[in-house]
Each structure stands twice: as structure tokens, then as C-alpha cells.
Amino acid sequence: MSAFSGKVALVTGASSGIGEATARLFAKRGASVVLAARRRDRLDALVEEIEQTGGTASAIDTDVADAASVEAMVAHAVDTFGRLDFAVNNAGLGTKVYPVTDMPDDYWDEVMAVNLRGNFLCLKHEARAMLAAGNGGAIVNVGSVSTFLGTPGATAYTASKAGQLGLTTSASGELASQGIRVNLVCPGVIDTPLHQAIKANLGAEAFDGIRQRKHLQRFGQPEEIATCIAFLCSDEASFITGSTLTADGGFHLSI
């Protein structure tokens, strides 16, 4: 029997990068997976791929910054598969680079709406569904090495990701006694479309400087973060909650 057989997982930001890799891995391990994002064509293609390899998946258009959309996403998971065991809050944005003195107010608001408000809304409704079912569960928020490192030119992104740390630890304290574990994964630079966009904005030379500061001297792959997320949802992590797993190749140790 597969490790996650009979379980239901919800993954936001599932249309590319870490979210896409995580959805594939959960399906491979036997979970029924709900894929949520704004790019429905990408979601539908991933559902087809998962089903063709023997997995089970369903897709729903979701704007994580909109409360009604998030509530509908969680209801879709429960209505479609009967329960919710794992939730991965991965949707995010923040590829633009601005000096803090030049950052447009509306860009700040947009990043906060998706990365922090969106994470809060997802966690709120996911936890409600898990509590209503009474089976416990595991929620993994996807932060960034910027959660605890200042990143010049990325003030909005850094502030939003730092906020996820407080959200995770506080929610863990509230929910642990009711069988729900909440943890945070903080990737370094991972080879995803998001980070390719950051590279375009920073410039190749600056981006390569980041690579050279990593202990492993390379960027990560989405599948490597997916395995961290799956571990935190698994029974092997049953005593881990309110914690941060930093998967950055040693980058934060070399600043």
C-alpha cells in the first residue's frame, strides 16, 4: 500500500514549479490530489497526466487572495473526495525588484494579498475542514529563505514571507492539541519559473553570485522541495509541528 493511500491532499500554486512537483509526488504516493491555481489550462493538463499514470486528481480555479474563492476550493476538496488530510499552501508571487523608496504601493498590496493574506485564508479554511471531520491533518506553508533573511530589492516579498513564520507558529500552537500539525518549508533558490523571472530582473551575474554562496554550489530542483513537504505531512514527522525546514543548499549559513 502506498504511503498516502486513502488520503486527500490540497496543493495551491499547483500549476508550475514546487506546487506541480508536490502534486505529482503526493499522487504517486497514493493520495487523491486537489490542484488549485489561477491557470486552469495548466491544472487540467496535470490532472490528465496524473490520471494517465494511475493517480487521482481534480482541479479548481482559485485566487488565494479572495476569501470566497478559497472557501470554494476547500469545499471542492471535501465534496469531491470526502475529506481533507494534507494541505500545501504554496501559491505566491514576488518577482519584481524595487528599492524600498521606489516600490509602488499597489505592488506591496498585491504581494501581501497573495503571499500572506492568501496563506492565512487557506490555512483558516483548511483547518476548519480538518476540525469538522475530526481526523486531524497536516498543513505545510511554503515560505522562502527570505523568511528570515533580508533581501535588498525584495522588501514586499521578504516581509510577506517573514509573516508566514508567525502565522505558522501561532496556528501550530492553536491546532496541535486537536491533531493538526502546521509547519513551514523555506526553500532557497529553486529552478522554477518564479525564480527564472527573478533572475531576469536581477541579472545573470547577480543570480550566479547567489549560487556561489550556496554550500552545495547549485540551485535546487522542485522535486527536492516536494520531498520535504511530503515528509512533513507523513507519519514519520508525527512529532514535528510549528517548525521550519530550510531547504536552501546551505545558503542562509553563508551570508
Is residue 48 in a domain? yes
Give the active site residues: 157
The count of other CB atoms within 10 Å of the CB of residue 225 is: 27
Does the structure show a pLDDT above 60 at 207? no
Is residue 213 in a domain? yes
Is residue 254 in a domain? no
Is residue 117 in a domain? yes
Is residue 1 in a domain? no
Does the structure show a pLDDT above 90 at 146? no
pLDDT band of residue 191 (cuts 50, 70, 90) is confident
The pLDDT tens digits for 5-61 are: 999 999 999 999 999 999 999 999 999 999 999 999 999 999 999 999 999 999 999
Cα separation, 54 vs 58, in Å, equals: 13
pLDDT band of residue 254 (cuts 50, 70, 90) is low
**Count: domains in the chain:** 1
pLDDT for position 84:
98
Percent of the chain with pLDDT strictly greater than 90: 76
Q: Which three cell numbers stand for residue 65?
A: 487572495
Of 102 and 95, the one with more pLDDT: 102
Is residue 140 in a domain? yes
Is residue 95 in a domain? yes
Write out the residue range of the structural domain in which residue 174 sits.
8-246
What pTM was computed for the model? 0.91
Percent of the chain with pLDDT strictly greater than 70: 87
CATH code of 110's domain = 3.40.50.720
